[in-house]
Amino acid sequence: MKQGDIGFSLANRAQTVEWKSLQHLASEKYRKIWRPHPPNRPLEKSPKPESVKKQRNLARTCVHEVAVPTGYTSTKDDSVHGTLSNPVYNGKVAKTYPFNLDPFQEISVACLERNESVLVSAHTSAGKTAVAEYAIAMAFREKQRVIYTSPLKALSNQKYRELSQEFSDVGLMTGDVTLSPNASCLVMTTEILRGMLYRGSEVLKEVAWVIFDEIHYMKDRERGVVWEESIIFLPPAIKMVFLSATMSNATEFAEWICFLHKQPCHVVYTDFRPTPLQHYVFPMGGSGLYLVVDENEQFKEDNFMKLQDTFVKQKKQGVGSRIENAKASGRIAKGGTASGGSDIYKIVKVCILLFSVVFFVIVFFIIPLLIVL
């Protein structure tokens, strides 16, 4: 398993899962379905290898795959929902948006309308929340309950405020506060959901969808087991929406879900990054910021050469060695000031001093006084 992969346990997946694509009758191997780019923004006929990713970003293309249990047969109307390998939705939508959905959002919505689990993998600010909101709107339309989980209390509080502005019946459950626990949409931390599963909460009997935000937290060595157990213990009737940043083993994760719950699991992935990403370098010694890669993924060679010159000058002046020596001598202390050490160290010193004073008073004053009396 490579670094950055989501970890989980899986056995005999090859015998229990088959992948379907547009050519699934020809082969059962993994296949990627690339959605066509908009006709008014065609790709070049022979793009250079280094520019392929950039062109995919500009075209807002996406990849769709689906893991299907062996022997599974869909009962959906193809004219309304499309097929497993090419999901589309032509019915009445549960929620409308004031903007045009990107291809990965359209495909994700079509998967939700098929009442099937989906993993949405996209960069930050790409629009994954729109997919989660549609799942909530679907649950409200069908008079069902939905759970939205996040890894942090602060993020749960933020999502509660955002969803409360969009929907009327939203509750919050964290380790610190509980608001409207009987609401149709419950926002909670993943640990709260696992606790409900441990207790066999009656709430889960009314839940149709569970949304796992930031599912890539599952690779965390300490807390990843919380997501793994929550997914394993969920009733098979509950469908899941997984929201994640880009990850390398999304298809393997979908196989695992398919193996556990014996239900299809779609994977929708996009490289599109709507928020410009710039790479800066801040050299040690405080000589300024250097932009080395701009928002168009262009490498700034001039700035990089200036950065190299800065490193050479610092090496000649011994800036790096002086900083390392200052750290070693304690003049630059992590979590404290340069002269007085850390706050924790000061607290420990005060506690030791107080203990010494109390011990001195007991031994030399209180005990002799008790003996005399």
- Please indicate, yes or no, if residue 2 is contained in any of the structural domains: no
Nearest to 240 by CA among 223, 258, 222: 258
- Stretch 54-66: mean pLDDT: 70
The answer on 345 and 235 residing in a single domain is no
> Chain-wide mean pLDDT for the chain?
79
- Stretch 257-269: mean pLDDT: 94
- Between β-strands 117-121 and 239-244, what pairing exists: parallel, antiparallel or unpaired? parallel
Q: Pick from 247, 270, 293: which residue ends a domain?
A: 270
pLDDT digits (tens, 9 = 90+) for 224-261: 999 999 999 999 999 999 999 878 889 999 999 999 99
Judged on CB neighbours under 10 Å (0-12, 13-18, 19+), 138 is buried
The CA angle 29-32-33, to the nearest 5 degrees, is: 130
d(C-alpha 189, C-alpha 138), whole Å: 22
pLDDT for position 343:
61
Q: pTM for the full model?
A: 0.68
The answer on 349 and 311 residing in a single domain is no
- Please indicate, yes or no, if residue 94 is contained in any of the structural domains: yes
Output the CA torsion 204→210→214→215 (10° steps).
80
pLDDT for position 171:
96
Query: What percent of the chain lies above the pLDDT cut of 90?
Result: 47
pLDDT digits (tens, 9 = 90+) for 23-48: 343 333 333 333 333 333 333 344 44
- Stretch 334-352: mean pLDDT: 60
d(C-alpha 55, C-alpha 283), whole Å: 32
pLDDT digits (tens, 9 = 90+) for 280-335: 888 776 667 888 888 777 888 888 888 888 877 777 776 555 555 555 555 544 44
pLDDT digits (tens, 9 = 90+) for 85-109: 999 999 999 999 999 999 999 999 9
pLDDT for position 82:
92
The answer on 357 and 299 residing in a single domain is no
Nearest to 170 by CA among 136, 143, 202, 210: 136
The DSSP output letter for 35 is P
Q: Does pLDDT of 64 surpass 50?
A: yes
Instruction: Give residue 288's domain range.
Output: 279-332
The answer on 293 and 168 residing in a single domain is no
Residue 150 belongs to domain with CATH number: 3.40.50.300
Name 241's Cβ contacts closer than 8 Å, sequence gap at least 6.
112, 117, 118, 120, 131, 132, 135, 209, 210, 211, 212
d(C-alpha 17, C-alpha 66), whole Å: 10
d(C-alpha 127, C-alpha 291), whole Å: 27
The answer on 77 and 33 residing in a single domain is yes
Number of domains observed in the structure of the chain: 3
